[in-house]
Chains A and B, each alone.
Chain A
Amino acid sequence: MTGAAAGPAASGIRFDRVSVAYGGNTVLDRLDLTVEPGEVMALLGPSGSGKTTALRAVAGFVRPASGRVYLGDRDVTDLPPHRRGIGMVVQQYALFPHMRVRDNVAFGLKARKVYKTETATRVADALELVGMSAYATRYPRELSGGQQQRVAIARALAVRPGVLLLDEPLSALDAQLRSGMLAELARLHRELPDVSILYVTHDQVEALTLADRIAVIDQARLQDCGTPQELYRSPRTEFTASFVGNANLLPVTVGSGTVAFAGRDLELFTTDATAGATATLCVRPHLVGLGDGPNALTGTVTEVQWRGSTHRLYVDIGGHRVKADLRELREPPALGQKVTLHFAPEDAVLLPAVDQSAPEAVTATGGAHG
């Protein structure tokens, strides 16, 4: 193996104030992010948020306008892609159509001039790992989407990269295959505990399922970063709260020990909010209950959606739309009916009020959150 294309030794990824601009358009703004060795980091965000750009900056296909990219201790910002020693899987798999599965997987090893005998073993190992050994002599066009995906992963892993970049790897698969592959990826990560994985997705389920930590990116900036639990239970920004888990965001005024919403005082654990300030109350729809209870709010039902195992109610409370996901109701309320909703004080999070002027980019270099 050539020295330049180093193997597993280079582990972990570090973005050091990385900005990328296309023709004066900033698509990634001063990203600071560290992926620890062996960690799965999901880059979660809507399309066009800059998450794929961040991944491509690691791969070497986009050049940062400023900032540095490190793989392990190596500054790879100026290295061409083929000298970075990464593994990458993209949405459309990009299997070489003119090569058999076997040769696709061997490609990276041949490019590194690995010995023939070793190449053969490692190709066999990689195919074994993804359960595709039986298909070694097929051509990519003879495989289904899910099989092509496995081969693409085997191809990326055969070179034993320290870092695996996955760019929306499941979005070309149908829903059923997707959950199977998700489990498969989780298993792969357990079997390869030293590989750092950067996983770009717009799907919160994928991110929550797979990632050790999630970096939420929107409008070219890192909005939030933390473990799935942290992001889900106590998001720091409204964007995170609504993008991850689709939370209710209600404007409130902070009182002493309580907050005022639609003429009612609600109890919560307001720790650090100053009285009189405006803030946003964040409650997950599935933590909202129907009927009387703590923090009861009464309003008019504007829409009822039956989703099989749950009912979603949209209730108008003082001009604000509140969502509630309830276990399937025997007798769902009718449109226009008055209902009472409630939620437990500990299930609500208070976020600083909407600051329309963009905040300074969140820095998330360590594992710490909040």
Chain B
Amino acid sequence: MASAVTTTSRGQGRGRAGWVWALPPVAVLAVVLLYPLALVVQQSVTPDEGSTSLTPYADVFASESFRSALGTTVWLAVGSTVGCLVLGFALALVIAFVPFPGGKAVAKFIDVFLSFPSFLITLALLFIYGTVGMANGVWTDATGASEGPFHFLTTPWGVLLAEITYFTPFVMRPLLAAFSQLDTAQLEVASSLGARPARIVRKVILPEALPALAAGGSLVLVMCLNEFGIVLFTGAKDVTTLPMLVYGKAILESDYPAACVVAVVNIALSVGLYTLYRTVSRRVGA
């Protein structure tokens, strides 16, 4: 890796030698990711070992299941993102500005939470709100009814709840980082000038938090669009998102061209949004 690391301050040691050292990892990436992705795109336009055509796209776009999956995916992602932003902002606000003993432990807990897989949340919700779960059990015991009122777990609302739960920490982390940069003297001055907490939040904290909110929000949006484990674990037949559709077409129906078409649409959606996220976060320096 010799000359790749000569970062003499300007110009020197860069250029061609740098590229030579960048080449091996890029080549590996090309084999294990870029080439496979290219194959997916290629398969999506070659239905049966034959010539190139856009019929798979026409077929998929025409199908009811694809359209509803696209709709479900987008509204779930948008809904979850909004929920995460609101909840994450509120919680981070308390941790940062109404400090309490154990606040550090909570922040640490959030870090740990992020390292667990998403489907654990759905699993937990199954115990709490499942048909034979805790909440329904309490209800039937209390009222003597034959079944409880909680059936939302197999509907999109169950997915929404799980996604908000799982992804909120992804918003909180950049927010907490941004809040720790905020000069608390500003808040003290503002309140000494007679501003009420709500006004301070709106006029002082929110403007400072906007970059972190934008960055965290767009990251969560992309991750929600791509989320698979949460949806898979609810086991709901009527909640199909794009990643679920890819899985279903490929593994359950062995309809690879259709799976590839859905995959390409999903990639376009996510990569487009991710590019937006990178641009936003680079611009705001988050």
- A61→B9 contact, CB < 8 A: yes
Question: For this complex, into which size category does the number of interface residues on chain A fall?
Answer: under 10
How far apart are the CA atoms of A63 and B6 in the complex, in Å? 14
Among the stretches B10-18, B150-158, B189-197, B215-223, the one at the interface with A is B10-18
A318 within 8 A of B: no
How many chain B residues touch A (Cβ–Cβ < 8 Å)?
Answer: 7
Residue of A nearest to B9 (CB): A61
How far apart are the CA atoms of A353 and B11 in the complex, in Å? 41
A60 within 8 A of B: yes
B143 within 8 A of A: no
Q: How far is the CB of B27 from chain A (nearest CB, A)?
A: 27
Residue of B nearest to A81 (CB): B8
Q: How far is the CB of B18 from chain A (nearest CB, A)?
A: 14
- A56→B9 contact, CB < 8 A: yes
Residues of B close to A81: CB separation below 8 A: 8
Residues of B close to A257: CB separation below 8 A: none
Residue of B nearest to A53 (CB): B9
A62 within 8 A of B: yes
How far apart are the CA atoms of A80 and B6 in the complex, in Å? 9
A22 within 8 A of B: yes
How far apart are the CA atoms of A60 and B12 in the complex, in Å? 9
- A80→B10 contact, CB < 8 A: no
How far apart are the CA atoms of A229 and B13 in the complex, in Å? 42
User: Which parts of A61-81 form the interface with B (CB within 8 Å)?
Assistant: 61-63, 80-81
User: When each residue 3-41 of chain B gets 1 if its CB lies under 8 Å from chain A and 0 otherwise, what string results?
Assistant: 000101111110000000000000000000000000000
Which of B6, B8, B11 is most buried by chain A, counting CB atoms within 10 A of its CB? B8
How far apart are the CA atoms of A56 and B11 in the complex, in Å? 14
How far apart are the CA atoms of A75 and B13 in the complex, in Å? 18
Residue of A nearest to B6 (CB): A80
How far apart are the CA atoms of A22 and B8 in the complex, in Å? 14
Residues of B close to A61: CB separation below 8 A: 8-9
Residues of A close to B9: CB separation below 8 A: 56, 61-62
* Interface residue from A22, A56, A62, A80 paired with B13 (Cβ < 8 Å): A80
Q: How far is the CB of A250 from chain B (nearest CB, A)?
A: 43
8 inter-chain pairs at a CB distance below 8 angstroms, sorted by A residue, are A60-B8, A61-B8, A62-B9, A63-B8, A63-B10, A63-B11, A63-B12, A80-B8
| Known contacts A61-B9, A62-B9, A63-B10, then 14 further A-B pairs from the complex at CB < 8 Å, ordered by chain A residue | A22-B10, A56-B9, A60-B8, A60-B12, A61-B8, A62-B10, A63-B8, A63-B11, A63-B12, A80-B6, A80-B8, A80-B12, A80-B13, A81-B8
**6 A-B pairs closest in CB distance:** A63-B12, A61-B9, A61-B8, A63-B11, A62-B9, A62-B10
